[in-house]
């Protein structure tokens, strides 16, 4: 069985609206958020900046962690982001060409 990778991630808008998600392909998913291809909440609030992510090889661990993060208060999510990304930098800033 090939290596499996799952990512739990947090995206943010410029005004720091947060979105927690789960994916197998973080590069593709960030692109989808940026291009508006997913529609809905992330498009409406322009949630396009990757500010946090974790990687695991277990889908069960990933699903559990995503559910855990989604249940957290905003304050707790902000503390998690700032523990590794104090400046709220876009961690995928150089993943795609500038248009």
User: Above 70 in pLDDT, residue 48?
Assistant: yes
Number of domain units in the chain: 1
For 44, the domain range is 6-84
Query: In the predicted model, what is the mean pLDDT of the chain?
Result: 93
Q: pLDDT tens across 70-95, in order?
A: 999 999 999 999 999 999 999 999 99
CATH code assigned at 58 = 3.40.1440.10
pTM of structure: 0.92
Q: Classify residue 96: in a domain, yes or no.
A: no
State the pLDDT at residue 96. Answer: 83
Q: Residue 4 and residue 98: Cα distance in Å, rounded?
A: 30
Cα–Cα distance for residue pair 76/66, rounded to 1 Å: 14
In angstroms and rounded to an integer, the radius of gyration of the C-alpha atoms of the chain is 13
């Amino acid at each position: 069985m090939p290596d499996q990778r799952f990512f739990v991630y947090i995206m943010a808008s410029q005004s720091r609206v947060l979105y927690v998600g789960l994916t197998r392909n973080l590069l593709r998913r960030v692109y989808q958020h940026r291009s508006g291809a997913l529609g809905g909440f992330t498009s409406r609030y322009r949630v396009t900046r990757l500010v946090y992510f974790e990687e695991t090889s277990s889908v069960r661990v990933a699903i559990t962690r995503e559910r855990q993060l989604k249940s957290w208060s905003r304050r707790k999510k902000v503390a998690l982001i700032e523990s590794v990304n104090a400046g709220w930098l876009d961690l995928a800033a150089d993943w795609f060409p500038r248009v």
